[in-house]
Chain A
């Protein structure tokens, strides 16, 4: 009885370690070696379009609405203390430090991460990956690497766009609708936001989240059981695992950057 439980625990642990190992080997194989710029660049552009440009709409709309909600909720509390000129720093700092990188990563995992997992899983199920190997084309270099780099490049850019649009949304509600002084909105923001402490740390955060999201999404697709059920499971796992990993790493990064 106890031996059975122990065996289960051991088997689970070995499986997890194996998964990490396979994910590491996949990333290693995809990223190491001399990149062929002439062949790789068009593939990267194609993936930047699929992963970055097509995610733009959801990022713009949700950024605008999150900025507007922040301004609306912040205003109702701040006005009680007569401190509504602090609305600008409230909106800007929450977006730059936390909401921009984190919400972008969650949306990105749902919008692009799941699509990548499903695409690669289906490639595996229809044996396109094996076909490439037969033709001496390395699927890691041709399929995995462009998607990985496209994700790592486009997510920080999407997070910056999200934050900028959110601040404009906060301006829309706070200044144009609720009547906070417009000059105060920007000047209090400028007095409280630091380029390195806030803007750069937000960018670093979103680069880390991009690495996590792309690695998990690619690995889940590449490692999927090649059946329709396996692909659906892998897609679900991508969204769940990336969301949890992003939130956990957000706590660690926040503690390192702003906690000390």
Chain B
């Protein structure tokens, strides 16, 4: 076995490994937010976030436009504040848009549903760091059942 042959085989081995790494990082793992590129951040306050997690998707009509970047608790009012990272290619949502915590399927993961609102002269476009005012909290099954039983009692 000549040195040249060995070196060629080692080179082939390294190339194969790089190909495997590229496949794992591009094909298997999703890189960052929906697609690539820049993103901007919006905030929203909720009463109850249910089972929402960091990296849960933000969808408009089922299309993923961003992900949850952080979930914190506002220590003045003790309400959860969710930070969203929205892809820059979806950058003109009016400030009348509403945000709801929805569940995919009966037992599926929870995600944020963004519903774009109307736009006229008095309404501004949401920019980086803005708050979405109109939010709807997660449905908590126990509360729902409790309400149902309470109504049946009347």
**Candidates B3, B20, B31, B57; contact of A164 at CB < 8 Å:** B20
Contact A199 B30 (CB under 8 A): no
Decide yes or no whether B25 CB sits under 8 A from chain A: yes
Contact A160 B17 (CB under 8 A): yes
Count of B interface residues, CB-CB < 8 Å: 23
Decide yes or no whether B75 CB sits under 8 A from chain A: no
**Candidates A45, A164, A190; contact of B30 at CB < 8 Å:** A190
Cβ of B91 to closest chain A Cβ, rounded Å: 23
Q: From residue 3 to 59 of chain B, which have CB atoms closer than 8 A to chain A?
A: 3, 6-7, 9-10, 12-14, 16-17, 19-21, 23-25, 27-31, 55, 57
Complex CA–CA separation, A156 to B7 (angstroms): 19
Contact A56 B7 (CB under 8 A): no
Decide yes or no whether A167 CB sits under 8 A from chain B: yes
Question: Which listed segment binds B: A25-33, A47-55, A124-132, A217-225?
Answer: A47-55
Complex CA–CA separation, A195 to B19 (angstroms): 15
Q: In the complex, which residues of chain A have a beta carbon less than 8 angstroms from the beta carbon of B23?
A: 164, 167
Contact A96 B24 (CB under 8 A): yes
Chain B contact residues: helix, strand, loop or mixed: helix
Contact A48 B24 (CB under 8 A): no
Q: From residue 62 to 99 of chain A, which have CB atoms closer than 8 A to chain B?
A: 92, 96
**Candidates B10, B31, B57; contact of A48 at CB < 8 Å:** B10
**Candidates B13, B21, B25; contact of A56 at CB < 8 Å:** B13
Contact B28 A161 (CB under 8 A): no
Given contacts A157-B17, A160-B17, contact A195 B6 (CB under 8 A): no
Contact B6 A154 (CB under 8 A): no
Contact B27 A186 (CB under 8 A): yes
Decide yes or no whether A115 CB sits under 8 A from chain B: no
Closest A residue, CB atoms, query B22: A164
Cβ of B148 to closest chain A Cβ, rounded Å: 27
Decide yes or no whether A189 CB sits under 8 A from chain B: yes
Q: In the complex, which residues of chain A have a beta carbon less than 8 angstroms from the beta carbon of B20?
A: 157, 160-161, 163-165
Chain A contact residues: helix, strand, loop or mixed: helix
Complex CA–CA separation, A42 to B25 (angstroms): 31
Given contacts A157-B14, A161-B20, A194-B55, contact A53 B9 (CB under 8 A): yes
Q: In the complex, which residues of chain B have a beta carbon less than 8 angstroms from the beta carbon of A194?
A: 29-30, 55
Contact A193 B13 (CB under 8 A): no
Decide yes or no whether A46 CB sits under 8 A from chain B: yes
Contact A189 B28 (CB under 8 A): yes
Q: In the complex, which residues of chain B have a beta carbon less than 8 angstroms from the beta carbon of A163?
A: 20, 24
Contact B13 A154 (CB under 8 A): yes
**Candidates A53, A186, A199; contact of B10 at CB < 8 Å:** A53
Cβ of A227 to closest chain B Cβ, rounded Å: 31
Q: In the complex, which residues of chain B have a beta carbon less than 8 angstroms from the beta carbon of A161?
A: 16-17, 20
Cβ of A102 to closest chain B Cβ, rounded Å: 17
**Candidates B7, B24, B28, B57; contact of A45 at CB < 8 Å:** B7
Q: List A residues at the B interface (Cβ < 8 Å).
A: 42, 45-46, 48-49, 52-53, 56, 92, 96, 154, 157-158, 160-161, 163-165, 167, 186, 189-191, 193-195, 198-199
Q: List B residues at the A interface (Cβ < 8 Å).
A: 3, 6-7, 9-10, 12-14, 16-17, 19-21, 23-25, 27-31, 55, 57
